[in-house]
Amino acid sequence: MKISVRLDYLFENESLENQFRFAREAGVDAVETGQLKGFDCKAASELVFKYDMPFLACGFYDMWNCRLGDRFENIQSNLLKSINCARELGCIYLLGLSDNKLRRTEEERASFIENMKPVAEALEKHDLIVLLEPHNTILPNPVYDFSHYYVNTMALAYDLVKSISSPSVKLLYDVYHEQISVGNLFSSISEYSSEIAHYHLSGVPHRNEPMLGEINNLNIAREAKKMGYNGYFGLEYFPTGDALASLKSTINYLTESN
């Protein structure tokens, strides 16, 4: 199993150097991060080389104000900054947040698809892929209020990705959000597998270590691989204790039991 880790989730209060060092010590295969605003892309690119640690995915620059589905002119500047940083880091994926919408009507759907076309075209020129991630609008999120988030299920995200029809727009399957929003995970993994480019694992319902909570993340990973997935499984969770010890235990659980 190839494992990546969201550095800013597990090691939020550590220096960038320590984040890479801990990831290497724990034995992960690649790293990710979210917010690029205030992030030192040059320093991170040097650490990629120093620790021989691929940078798999990063969020958008000023991600709370650079939202998928928003009008292109509103996000164009931050999108360009995101592309430049991703290229410096050697990223494959950009982690995308959809815009807030009051309703999920056909008009809103058409607007989202139309606004995504120039985003897709810009990313295609640089061989980058934005991952559209559904977020549950049920449980409060400690980082951001997602209660009005437009893309809230894999079913809606899949429909949008298929309609946009670009190699640069794919799905991120976050088991935490989909379990809370819909459940029936094996069924959705099977149904949407053709467009899923990346997975995020964590425990449900408290978003802690993947071996905690009400779902079996090992079985989720096995089902994804059975459907033909051969990419990374990203760890995006809040550790219950010491972050490095937590990460080591999680990797042991995922790799020794697999």
Which tens digit of pLDDT belongs to each residue from 144-192?
Answer: 777 888 999 999 999 999 999 999 999 999 999 999 999 999 999 999 9
Residue 139: pLDDT band by 50, 70, 90 thresholds? confident
Which tens digit of pLDDT belongs to each residue from 23-39?
Answer: 999 999 999 999 999 99
- pLDDT-wise least confident of 135-144, 172-181, 193-202: 135-144
Beta strands in the chain (DSSP E): 2-6, 30-33, 55-59, 93-96, 129-132, 169-174, 196-201, 232-235
Q: What is the pLDDT of residue 147?
A: 81
Q: What is the pLDDT of residue 138?
A: 86
Q: What is the pLDDT of residue 28?
A: 97
Q: What is the pLDDT of residue 256?
A: 79
Q: Say if residue 143's pLDDT is above 80.
A: no
What is the mean pLDDT of the segment spanning 140-146? 73
Burial of 94 (0-12, 13-18, 19+ CB in 10 A): buried
d(CA 23, CA 91): 17
Antiparallel, parallel or unpaired: β 55-59 and 232-235: unpaired
Q: Say if residue 200's pLDDT is above 80.
A: yes
Q: Say if residue 258's pLDDT is above 80.
A: no
Residue-averaged pLDDT of the chain: 95
Domain residue limits at 228:
2-256
- Pairwise pLDDT comparison (146 vs 231), residue with the higher score: 231
In angstroms, the Cα distances linking 245 to 9, 30, 79, 101, 240 are 14, 18, 36, 40, 10
Q: What is the pLDDT of residue 116?
A: 97
Domains contained in the chain, number:
1
Find the CATH number of the domain harbouring 9. Answer: 3.20.20.150
| For the chain, percent of residues with pLDDT exceeding 90 | 90
Continuous H helices in 27-133: 41-50, 72-89, 106-124
d(CA 18, CA 24): 10
d(CA 181, CA 206): 14
In angstroms, the Cα distances linking 150 to 20, 47, 73, 134, 137 are 33, 36, 19, 8, 9
Q: What is the pLDDT of residue 141?
A: 74
d(CA 177, CA 107): 25
Tally of CB atoms within 10 A around 212: 17
d(CA 143, CA 248): 25
Residue 137: pLDDT band by 50, 70, 90 thresholds? confident
The single-letter DSSP state of residue 14 is S
Continuous H helices in 90-168: 106-124, 154-164
Q: Say if residue 18's pLDDT is above 80.
A: yes
Which tens digit of pLDDT belongs to each residue from 64-114?
Answer: 889 999 999 999 999 999 999 999 999 999 999 999 987 889 999 999 999
